[in-house]
């Protein structure tokens, strides 16, 4: 009998010891309750310093730091159209302290199979921060002043394909331009350039007819009279370019444009994702963030999306890009 009591007592001590050794953070994570960041977060930027993705995160980081109470460390890992940065992120621990920035270039990588991991599915979406547009500008030497005139010119001169400069024929620029050509029933000759500055210089020198760029970058050329705004690939006209037609008003289904979102790798604690998402929702309403987006022309299109909305956008873009690639 004494041995039975002793055995029961030892079992009770063992249970109490195991409970006492359980980590409060582990219990919180397992129950998907509120996560508290306890050390700096690293965000991998898959493009170089000064890129649109880089400038976006550097404007956003100081605001999100105030909400989550820890520092954001930014790490630029560029190359292969954003794929190198994604592969670097995939090799980091999915511990809730490493995140990355994805763009439509990563959707294209999923379609083309250019990453060394399952870039389509091995991702946890946090938030999409912004949605940008593309605009097509033409040199002063061209005979068309808007999209309708460009369409008429192409159909009247089938042996003359106007040239369109861009930075990534196989990336989001090429996909955006091809969607416009398919929807408008025209053919353009795409010309790749190493940088936006090089593409713009080619137009100014009369070496190419048009360039695909961002409304923010294009605005200065339109105001100076050095280039003409042909069409904005968006649902509505831009507030800073009220005289430039948009595809929406012409009922042309061509809206693909660059967006930038925060992601983590599959297996990242859901508590960390939820906490960062909640903080991002607050930042999205901050006047300082709204003002910054206004200065770079990012307030015209609804851009912010929570994790579920971002996930839906991600797979919708994949299906769109896959269909375009199959043509």
324: left (phi over 0), alpha (psi -120 to 50) or beta: alpha
Task: Please give the span between the terminal C-alpha atoms of the chain, in angstroms, as a whole number.
Answer: 82
Q: Which position has the token pair 């105001």?
A: 223
Question: CB of 125 within 8 A of CB of 67?
Answer: no
pTM above the 0.85 mark? no
Question: CB of 83 within 8 A of CB of 115?
Answer: yes
List 12's β-bridge partners, or say none: none
What was the pLDDT predicted at 16?
36
Residue 57 has pLDDT above 90, yes or no: yes
What was the pLDDT predicted at 184?
96
Contacts of 141 (CB under 8 A, 6+ apart): 206, 209
What order of strands is seen across the sheet that includes strand 72-76?
72-76, 41-45, 98-102, 259-265, 123-131
Domains along the chain with CATH numbers? 41-132+258-325 (3.40.190.150), 134-233 (3.40.190.10)
Model confidence over 99-127: pLDDT tens digits?
999 999 999 999 999 999 999 999 999 99
Model confidence over 273-314: pLDDT tens digits?
999 999 999 999 999 999 999 888 888 888 999 999 999 999
CA distance 254 to 215: 16
Model confidence over 120-179: pLDDT tens digits?
999 999 999 999 999 999 999 999 999 999 999 999 999 999 999 998 888 889 999 999
């Amino acid at each position: 009998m004494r041995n039975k009591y002793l055995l029961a007592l030892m079992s009770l001590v063992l249970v109490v010891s195991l409970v006492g050794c359980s980590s409060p953070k582990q219990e919180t994570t397992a129950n998907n309750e509120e996560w508290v960041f306890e050390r700096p977060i690293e965000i991998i930027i898959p493009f170089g310093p000064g890129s649109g993705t880089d400038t976006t995160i550097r404007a956003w980081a100081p605001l999100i730091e105030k909400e989550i109470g820890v520092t954001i460390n930014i790490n630029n890992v560029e190359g292969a159209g954003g794929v190198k940065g994604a592969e670097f992120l995939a090799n980091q621990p999915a511990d809730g302290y490493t995140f990355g920035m994805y763009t439509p270039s990563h959707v294209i990588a999923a379609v083309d199979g250019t990453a060394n991991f399952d870039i389509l599915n091995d991702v946890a979406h946090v938030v999409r921060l912004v949605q940008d547009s593309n605009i097509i500008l033409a040199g002063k030497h061209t005979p068309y002043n808007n999209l309708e005139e460009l369409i008429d010119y192409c159909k009247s001169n089938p042996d003359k394909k106007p040239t369109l400069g861009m930075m990534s024929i196989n990336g989001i620029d090429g996909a955006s331009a091809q969607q416009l050509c398919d929807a408008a029933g025209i053919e353009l000759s795409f010309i790749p350039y190493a940088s936006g500055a090089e593409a713009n210089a080619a137009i100014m020198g009369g070496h190419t007819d048009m360039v695909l760029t961002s409304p923010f970058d294009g605005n200065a050329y339109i105001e100076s009279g050095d280039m003409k705004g042909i069409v904005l690939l968006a649902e509505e006209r831009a507030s800073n370019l009220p005289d430039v037609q948009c595809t929406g008003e012409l009922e042309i289904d061509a809206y693909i444009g660059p967006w930038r979102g925060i992601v983590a790798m599959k297996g990242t604690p859901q508590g960390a994702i939820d906490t960062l998402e909640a903080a991002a929702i607050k930042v999205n309403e901050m006047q300082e963030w709204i003002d910054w987006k206004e200065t770079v022309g990012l307030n015209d299109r609804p851009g912010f999306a929570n994790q579920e909305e971002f996930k839906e956008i991600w797979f919708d873009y994949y299906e769109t890009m896959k269909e375009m690639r199959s043509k």
